[in-house]
C-alpha cells in the first residue's frame, strides 16, 4: 500500500465547520464529519487507503499535475494532463445552509481530448475503524450508514461495490462536466434533498470573494496575508466563533517520532495574536465572535480554567490512542484528544486578559459580565502565580517555574491596571500594580541568567526558549534593553537551525518525550518581529522572505519545518503559523515600505520542495469558460 503524500502535498477545503485534506493526486485522505473534532471518516492520512479515502484521478498516468486555489477562495482546482487529454478536478465544500447536513462537492471538467478516470470511495467511520452499511437509494444515489452517521453520494457515474469499496470508471471529453456530491447527515433523519453542484460552486466563490474583499491593506505581502486570512476563516467554527489550531490530529513533529498531538481544538494562548491579526486586517465580526467564544469558554470557576477547549467550549478532551492506525509514515502513537487540556499553564491568564484588553482597545464593546469575569480570574491568579506549571509548550514532565508563564502572569495584572484606568472600570488598581511590579522583579532576578546574558526557559535552567522573543511585543521590556539584546543573540547562537528558530532544544530538554522536532515557524516569525523592533529591517525582511518560501505551492504552512529533509512537519495547516505570518507582514508594513525587489536570500538557501511534476507551470487564461468560476485570468498561486 503506497504511503500518504508529503504533508506539503496536501490542500485544504472546508465549510467553516469542518475541513478535508486533498492530495496532489486527487485523493481526499482526511475528513472529520460533522465537526472539526468529530471522528474521521477518511483517515488514510494516518494509515493507508483501507482507513478511508476518496480518490478521483485519471486511469492512465498523469504527465503533468497542476493545482491552485481559485483566486482568494478555498475552491481547489487540480489539472491532470495525460497522453489522451486534460481535465480539471474542482473540490470544495459549500457553506452550510442546512443545519443538519454538510456537503463535499467534486466536479470534473473536460478541458482537452478525452480522459478516462476512476473513482474509489472508501468510507471508514470511527477514525478509519468502522465499515458502513451501503445501500442504493436510486440509480444515482448511495447511502452509507454507521450508527448515528450517514453519508450519501449522488452522481450520474455508474458505481459498484468491490471489496468493501465503491468504485467506478468514466470518461470525460472536452467541454463535458461530471459532478459528485457527498453529503453528511444523521442517520435517524430524512436524507437531505439534493443540491445543485454548479450553483453551489458559484455561491461558494461569491462567499469567499466577498469575505476576502474586505481586506484593505496594501504592500508587498498582500497575497500571502490574504491566503493566511482565508485559512484562519476556514479553521473557524462558524456557529460558535471558536478557531481550532489545525484540522488534523497526530501529524508528527518529526517523521517516525512520538510527538504526535491532536490539534483540532481551540487554544486560549492563540487568542491574543489571533485577535490582533483579525482586527489589524479589519475583520471585526470574526474578532468579536472569537472574543465572545473566549468569554463563554472560560466562564465558571477561575480555578477550573483550561488551556484549550472544544470548538463549542467543551472541557472534556480525553486523550486516547487509535492503535489500529499505523500513523503518518509510521509515526506512532496516533493520539486522539489531548491530555494537556488538564495541565496548569499560568500563561493562559495573561492571554485571556491581554485578549480582552486588546479587544477593548481595538473598539470591541465590553460589558459588566466580561469585567467581572476578569476580576475573578485575577483573584485566582493572585493566589497561584507563584506555583510551577507545565508552560506554554505543554511539557509532560514535572512542573517548573517557566519564565514565559511568569511573564504572562505579569501581563494579566498589567492589562488589568491599564483596562481599569483607560476604561474607568472598578477594581483594586493599586494592589494589582504592586503584584505586577513584584512579578516583574522576580522574573528579572530568577528568569535571567547573567552568565548567559539571556533570559532562560525556567528559573535556574541554562536552557533557552524562543517564547522569550515575545517579551518586547508584550511590553515586558523594550527590544533594545541589553537583556533582550542578549536573549536575541543567545537564540541566534543556540536555537537557530538553517536560519530558522527552534522553540527549544528538544535534545537537551527533560520534557517527558524523546526525539527532536523541526524548526517552529511561529517562533521564526517572532524573530522577524524582534528584528524589526531592534531596527534590523533587512534581517527581518530576509527571514520573512525565507519563511514565505516554506509555504507549499498553495500558500499553506504546517506547524514546523524540517530543514534536513526539506519537509513541512506537524499538524497542517497550522493557524498559529498563519497568524504569525499575518502579524509579521503587518509589522513590516508599519516599518515603512521596502525598496522595490525581493530581499536577497541567505547564503546556501535551499529551493523549497522540489517536485517531480510541473506544478508551477502557467495556466491558460480560460481553461473551462463554460463555468462562471472559470472565466477570466487566474490569480497567481500563494
Beta strands in 43-176 (DSSP E): 53-58, 64-69, 76-81, 85-92, 101-122, 133-138, 141-146, 149-154, 160-162, 165-173
The phi, psi pair for 336, rounded to 5°, reads -120, 135
Backbone angles phi and psi of 196, in degrees to 5: -85, 110
For residue 268, count other CB atoms closer than 10 A to its CB. 22
Strand bridging mode 308-309 / 454-455: unpaired
pLDDT, residue 514, reads: 54
State the average pLDDT for the chain: 90
Instruction: Name the CATH code of domain 7-189 (choices 2.70.98.40, 3.40.50.20, 1.20.1050.90, 3.10.520.10).
Output: 2.70.98.40
**Cα 113 to Cα 156, 174, 391, 614, distances in angstroms:** 21, 6, 59, 20
Relative to beta strand 335-336, strand 320-321 is: antiparallel
What DSSP designation does 531 have? Answer: H
pLDDT digits (tens, 9 = 90+) for 289-302: 998 999 899 988 88
146 strand-pairing partners: 149
For residues 45 and 262, the answer to whether their CB atoms sit within 8 Å is: no
Query: DSSP label at 638?
Result: -
pLDDT tens by residue, 89-113: 999 999 998 777 899 999 999 999 9
DSSP, res 338:
-
207 prior amide bond cis, ω within 30: no
Angle subtended at Cα 301 by Cα 300 and Cα 303, rounded to the nearest 5 degrees: 140
Q: What is the pLDDT of residue 130?
A: 97
What is the C-alpha separation between 229 and 466, in angstroms, rounded?
25
Return the C-alpha cell found at 289: 465572535
Give me the mean pLDDT over the 402-423 stretch: 97
Establish whether the linkage from the previous residue to 482 is cis, with ω within 30° of 0. no
Asked if 455 and 492 count as a contact pair (C-beta separation under 8 A), the reply is: no
Instruction: Select 214-590's CATH number: 1.50.10.10, 2.10.109.10, 1.10.3720.10, 3.40.50.300.
Output: 1.50.10.10
Q: 51 pLDDT exceeds 70?
A: yes
Q: Where are the domains of the chain?
A: 7-189, 214-590
Q: What phi, psi does 526 have (nearest 5°)?
A: -65, -35
- Per-residue pLDDT of 495-546, as tens digits, reads 999 999 999 987 655 555 556 789 999 999 999 999 999 999 999 999 999 9
CA proximity to 106, closest of 169, 181, 162 = 181
How many Cβ atoms from other residues are within 10 Å of residue 117's Cβ?
Answer: 23
With a CB cutoff of 8 Å and minimum separation 6, the contacts of 17 are: 34, 35, 36, 96, 102, 237, 238, 239
Burial environment of residue 296 by CB neighbours within 10 A (0 to 12, 13 to 18, 19 or more): middle
pLDDT in tens, 553-568: 999 999 999 999 999 9
The C-alpha atoms of residue 399 and residue 194 are separated, in whole angstroms, by 54
| The residue to which cell 514535572 is assigned | 398
Amino acid at each position: 500500500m503506497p504511503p500518504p503524500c508529503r504533508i506539503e502535498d496536501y490542500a485544504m477545503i472546508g465549510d467553516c465547520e469542518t475541513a478535508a485534506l486533498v492530495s496532489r493526486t486527487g485523493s481526499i485522505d482526511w475528513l472529520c464529519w460533522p465537526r472539526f473534532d468529530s471522528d474521521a471518516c477518511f483517515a488514510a492520512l494516518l494509515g493507508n487507503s483501507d482507513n478511508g479515502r476518496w480518490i478521483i484521478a485519471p486511469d492512465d498516468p498523469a504527465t503533468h499535475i497542476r493545482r491552485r486555489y481559485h483566486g482568494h477562495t478555498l475552491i481547489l482546482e487540480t489539472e491532470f494532463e495525460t497522453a489522451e487529454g486534460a481535465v480539471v478536478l474542482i473540490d470544495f465544500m459549500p457553506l452550510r445552509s442546512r443545519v443538519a447536513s454538510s456537503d463535499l462537492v467534486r466536479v470534473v471538467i473536460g478541458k482537452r481530448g478525452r480522459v478516462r478516470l476512476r473513482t474509489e470511495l472508501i468510507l471508514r467511520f470511527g477514525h478509519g475503524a468502522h465499515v458502513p452499511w451501503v445501500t442504493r437509494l436510486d440509480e444515482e444515489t448511495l447511502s452509507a450508514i454507521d450508527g448515528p452517521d450517514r453519508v450519501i453520494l449522488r452522481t450520474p457515474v455508474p458505481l459498484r461495490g468491490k471489496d468493501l469499496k465503491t468504485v467506478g470508471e468514466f470518461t470525460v471529453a472536452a467541454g463535458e462536466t461530471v459532478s459528485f456530491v457527498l453529503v453528511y447527515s444523521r442517520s435517524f433523519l430524512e436524507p437531505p434533498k439534493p443540491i445543485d453542484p454548479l450553483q453551489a460552486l458559484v455561491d461558494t466563490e461569491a462567499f469567499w470573494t466577498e469575505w476576502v474583499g474586505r481586506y484593505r491593506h496594501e504592500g508587498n505581502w498582500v497575497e500571502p496575508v490574504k491566503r493566511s486570512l482565508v485559512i484562519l476563516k476556514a479553521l473557524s467554527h462558524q456557529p460558535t466563533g471558536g478557531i481550532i489550531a489545525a484540522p488534523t490530529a497526530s501529524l508528527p513533529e518529526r517523521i517516525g517520532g512520538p510527538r504526535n498531538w491532536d490539534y483540532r481544538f481551540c487554544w486560549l494562548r492563540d487568542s491574543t495574536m489571533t485577535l490582533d491579526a483579525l482586527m489589524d486586517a479589519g475583520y471585526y465580526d470574526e474578532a468579536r465572535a472569537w472574543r465572545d467564544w473566549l468569554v463563554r469558554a472560560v466562564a465558571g470557576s477561575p480555578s477550573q480554567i483550561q488551556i484549550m477547549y472544544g470548538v463549542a467550549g467543551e472541557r472534556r478532551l480525553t486523550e486516547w490512542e487509535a492503535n489500529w492506525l499505523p500513523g503518518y509514515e509510521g509515526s506512532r502513537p496516533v493520539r486522539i484528544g489531548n491530555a494537556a487540556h488538564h495541565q496548569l499553564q499560568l500563561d493562559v491568564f495573561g492571554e485571556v486578559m491581554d485578549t480582552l484588553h486588546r479587544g477593548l482597545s481595538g473598539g470591541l464593546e465590553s460589558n459588566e459580565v466580561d469585567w467581572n469575569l476578569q476580576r475573578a480570574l485575577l483573584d485566582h491568579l493572585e493566589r497561584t502565580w507563584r506555583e510551577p506549571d507545565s508552560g506554554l509548550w505543554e511539557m509532560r514532565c514535572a512542573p517548573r517555574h517557566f519564565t514565559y508563564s511568569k511573564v504572562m502572569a505579569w501581563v494579566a495584572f498589567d492589562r488589568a491596571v491599564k483596562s481599569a484606568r483607560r476604561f474607568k472600570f472598578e477594581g483594586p488598581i493599586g494592589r494589582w500594580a504592586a503584584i505586577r511590579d513584584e512579578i516583574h522583579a522576580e522574573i528579572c532576578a530568577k528568569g535571567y541568567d547573567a552568565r548567559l546574558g539571556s533570559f532562560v526557559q525556567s528559573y535556574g535552567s541554562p536552557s533557552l526558549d524562543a517564547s522569550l522573543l515575545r517579551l518586547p511585543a508584550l511590553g515586558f521590556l523594550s527590544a533594545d534593553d541589553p537583556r533582550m539584546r542578549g536573549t536575541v543573540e543567545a537564540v541566534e547562537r543556540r536555537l537557530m537551525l538553517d536560519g530558522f528558530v527552534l522553540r527549544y532544544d528538544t535534545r537537551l530538554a527533560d520534557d517527558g518525550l524523546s526525539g527532536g522536532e523541526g524548526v517552529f515557524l511561529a517562533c521564526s516569525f517572532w524573530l522577524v518581529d524582534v528584528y524589526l523592533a531592534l531596527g534590523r529591517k533587512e534581517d527581518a525582511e530576509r527571514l520573512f522572505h525565507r519563511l514565505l518560501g516554506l509555504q507549499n505551492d498553495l500558500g499553506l504552512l504546517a506547524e514546523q519545518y524540517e530543514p534536513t529533509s526539506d519537509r513541512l512537519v506537524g499538524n497542517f495547516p497550522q493557524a498559529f503559523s498563519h497568524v504569525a505570518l499575518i502579524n509579521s507582514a503587518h509589522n513590516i508594513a508599519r516599518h515603512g515600505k521596502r525598496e522595490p525587489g525581493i530581499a536577497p536570500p541567505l547564503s546556501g538557501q535551499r529551493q523549497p520542495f522540489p517536485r517531480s511534476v510541473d506544478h508551477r507551470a502557467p495556466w491558460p487564461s480560460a481553461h473551462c469558460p463554460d463555468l462562471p468560476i472559470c472565466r477570466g485570468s487566474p490569480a497567481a498561486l500563494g
